[in-house]
């Protein structure tokens, strides 16, 4: 039965270094929750403590009302999907999926039925007789997912499960893993360093750095209104324009910056910068006069065609380089040409310097 996860003051120290430092998290029943951060930030150590493979130095872990902090992995009823798949090479896909049921002494007929259902769930119904060496990386990952789900765990834990796949297959498997998790209603904690993975799949996510949980929220909120510059930069490219001051002007906030006054959403605060994502800026053409936006003049430094978009680098007020994304095959702009750039209030955010 899927359950919530509550983590309170969880800490893991190796000698004097804190791999995880006083983490507090709550994951709701059926939620797909991501632990996101750079390599070495502590996210995998945190996941391994939830699974029971690593003992915490202090703190507690609860599955629903059950305190599992001191329980061994086999008594937590958590399904784990590893980065390396960890399939037995001498067993067929069906035998790999069945392994956990045998260990739990499930009756043979029930085992066969549940293995068949699990393979069908991950769209591997016709591959049960194949061994891992006869399967692609994506197919092996599906089998590993089926093996974790077939035991009907209370929680599902995934440790960078797509890192060994190519870009196209990663995109397909993102959709597949989310579909399966939502179809089963299972509570899921997913570790990744891939921002696109987290932004496209998570219900909520925690951003970690140096063993600490810096922020928790929905992907859109953290991306568009990050609480700090570190989180803003980690989640995607952005230009940060320092604001000498910010004042309220009717329904708008006006930030006074080196490229002039800029309208932004949010509340006035001290020691901030204006975050401008490349997709937020717009090149004005054919006399466009956008509403609720600041328009600045700029000089094109470079224009790069990237297929689905064109990346234009412009210099504003001889002081600030700004990246602008244009969708599709936009006309190539010559270096040195002058353009107008619209900065919509609603797409800009104030972040701490």
pLDDT at residue 162, rounded to an integer = 87
pLDDT of residue 253: 85
CATH code of domain 5-233: 3.40.50.300
Strands (E), 231-345: 239-243, 245-249, 252-257, 260-264, 272-276, 282-284, 293-305, 309-316, 320-327, 338-344
- The SS3 call for residue 222 is helix
Q: Report the run of H or E that residue 195 belongs to, with start and end.
A: helix 195-201
Question: Could you give the count of Cα atoms lying within 13 Å of 223 in the half-sphere of its Cβ?
Answer: 20
Q: What is the pLDDT of residue 98?
A: 93
Q: Which residues of 118-130 are buried (b: 16+ CB within 10 A; e: fewer)?
A: bbebbebeebbee
Q: Which of 49-53, 187-191, 281-285 has the lowest average pLDDT? A: 281-285
Q: Report the CATH architecture of 237-352.
A: Beta Barrel (2.40)
Beta bridge mates, 71: none
The mean-pLDDT minimum among 64-68, 216-220, 229-233, 262-266 falls in 262-266
Check whether 82 has a pLDDT greater than 90. no
Contacts 24+ apart (CB under 8 A), 318-321: 319/258, 319/259, 320/239, 320/241, 320/258, 320/259, 321/239
5-233 and 237-352 agree in CATH topology: no
Q: For position 348, what pLDDT does the model report?
A: 92
pLDDT, tens digit, 9 for 90 and up, residues 278-330? 999 999 876 677 778 899 999 999 998 888 888 999 999 988 999 999 887 77
pLDDT band at 135 (very low <50, low <70, confident <90, very high): very high
DSSP state of 331: P
* Residue 287 pLDDT: 65
Phi, psi of 242 (to 5 degrees): -65, 140
Q: Is the pLDDT confidence value at 121 over 80?
A: yes
**What are the boundaries of each domain within the chain?**
5-233, 237-352
Is the pLDDT confidence value at 270 over 90?
Answer: no
Are the C-beta atoms of 50 and 5 separated by less than 8 Å?
A: yes
Average pLDDT over residues 111-116: 94
Query: How far is it, in rounded angstroms, from Cα 254 to Cα 248?
Result: 6
Say if residue 272's pLDDT is above 90.
Answer: no
**Stretch 186-201: mean pLDDT:** 95
- The mean pLDDT value of the chain amounts to 91
| Residue 2 clears pLDDT 80, i.e. is over it | yes
Question: Which tens digits make up the pLDDT trace of 339-353?
Answer: 999 999 889 989 887
């Amino acid at each position: 039965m899927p359950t919530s996860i509550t983590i309170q003051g969880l800490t893991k120290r190796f000698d004097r270094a804190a791999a995880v430092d006083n983490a507090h998290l709550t994951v709701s029943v059926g939620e797909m929750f991501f632990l996101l951060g750079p390599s070495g930030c502590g996210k995998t150590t945190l996941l391994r403590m939830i699974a029971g493979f690593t003992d915490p130095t202090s703190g507690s872990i609860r599955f629903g009302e059950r305190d599992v902090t001191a329980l061994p992995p086999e008594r937590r009823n958590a399904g784990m999907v590893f980065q390396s798949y960890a399939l037995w090479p001498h067993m067929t896909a069906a035998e790999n999926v069945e392994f956990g049921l045998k260990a739990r002494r499930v009756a043979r007929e029930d085992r066969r039925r549940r293995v068949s259902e699990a393979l069908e769930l991950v769209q591997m119904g016709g591959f049960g007789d194949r061994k891992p060496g006869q399967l692609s990386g994506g197919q092996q990952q599906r089998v590993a997912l089926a093996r974790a789900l077939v035991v009907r765990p209370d929680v599902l834990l995934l440790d960078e499960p797509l890192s060994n796949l190519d870009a196209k297959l990663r995109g397909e498997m993102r959709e597949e893993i989310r579909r399966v998790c939502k179809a089963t209603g299972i509570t899921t904690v997913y570790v990744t360093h891939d921002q696109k993975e987290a932004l496209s799949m998570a219900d909520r996510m925690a951003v970690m750095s140096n063993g600490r949980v810096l922020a928790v929220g929905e992907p859109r909120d953290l991306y568009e209104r990050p609480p700090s510059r570190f989180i803003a930069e980690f989640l995607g490219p952005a230009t940060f324009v320092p604001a000498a001051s910010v004042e309220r002007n009717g329904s708008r906030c006006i930030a006074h910056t080196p490229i002039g006054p800029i309208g932004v959403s949010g509340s006035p605060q001290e020691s901030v910068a204006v975050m401008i994502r490349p997709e937020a800026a717009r090149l004005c053409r054919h006399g466009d006069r956008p509403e609720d936006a600041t328009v600045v003049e700029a000089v094109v430094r470079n224009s790069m065609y990237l297929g689905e978009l064109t990346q234009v680098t412009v210099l504003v007020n001889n002081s600030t380089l700004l990246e602008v994304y244009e969708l599709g095959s936009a006309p190539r702009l010559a270096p040195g040409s002058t353009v107008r750039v619209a900065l919509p209030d609603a797409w800009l955010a104030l972040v701490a310097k």
